[in-house]
């Protein structure tokens, strides 16, 4: 099993960025956590990427077809704006888990919309970086039940 973990804009600034909301751990900590948690969940490969550019994220989702068995995505601000990310996820029809570090449902009104959610079989919010480990476990479960 191979998982692609995608991170949208400003998540490279974890640790520096609004630590009251996103915590003090860095993006490198997040990559290490995903790799540890992914291995524990049974993934042979967990590729963790981040971009501030919507098109990069769309390209990576497209390229995942035939290369990865599933995707964990934190689209960050693009969650609330991007039909393109939704369409890309639908196009490849891989299993996708949406993850947010913060409890988006308790924040501003503009964070209450998620376009990508319609293409995801699960959404995790408000668990901090541990939410990515949770997402990888859900993805592994789903793939194992399907016999991937």
Query: Which active-site residues does the annotation give?
Result: 22, 100
**Residue 95 DSSP class:** -
Q: How far is the CB of 144 from ligand DQA (least distance, A)?
A: 26
140 contacts: CB under 8 Å, gap ≥ 6? 1, 3, 41, 42, 43
Whether residue 61 contacts residue 85, with contact meaning beta carbons closer than 8 Å, is answered with yes
- Residue with smaller CB distance to ligand DQA, 69 or 131: 131
- The alpha carbon of 119 is separated from its chain's Cα centroid by a whole number of angstroms, namely 12
- Residue with smaller CB distance to ligand DQA, 64 or 74: 74
Q: How far is the CB of 34 from ligand DQA (least distance, A)?
A: 14
Q: How far is the CB of 145 from ligand DQA (least distance, A)?
A: 27
Which parts of this chain interact with ligand DQA (CB under 6 A)? Answer: 10, 74, 76-77, 79, 100-102, 104, 111
From CA 79, how far away is CA 85, in angstroms rounded?
A: 8
């Amino acid at each position: 099993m191979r998982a692609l973990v995608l991170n949208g804009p400003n998540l490279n600034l974890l640790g520096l960025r609004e630590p009251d909301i996103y915590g003090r751990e860095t993006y490198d900590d997040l990559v290490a956590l995903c790799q540890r948690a992914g291995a524990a969940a049974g993934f042979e490969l967990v590729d963790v990427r981040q971009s501030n550019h919507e098109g990069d994220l769309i390209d990576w989702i497209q390229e995942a077809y035939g290369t990865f068995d599933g995707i964990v995505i934190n689209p960050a601000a693009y969650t609330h704006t991007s039909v393109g990310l939704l369409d890309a996820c639908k196009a490849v029809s891989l299993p996708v888990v949406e993850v947010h570090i913060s409890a988006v449902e308790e924040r501003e009104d503009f964070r209450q919309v998620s376009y990508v959610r319609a293409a995801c079989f699960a959404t995790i919010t408000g668990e901090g970086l541990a939410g990515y480990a949770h997402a990888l476990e859900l993805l592994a479960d789903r793939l194992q039940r399907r016999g991937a």
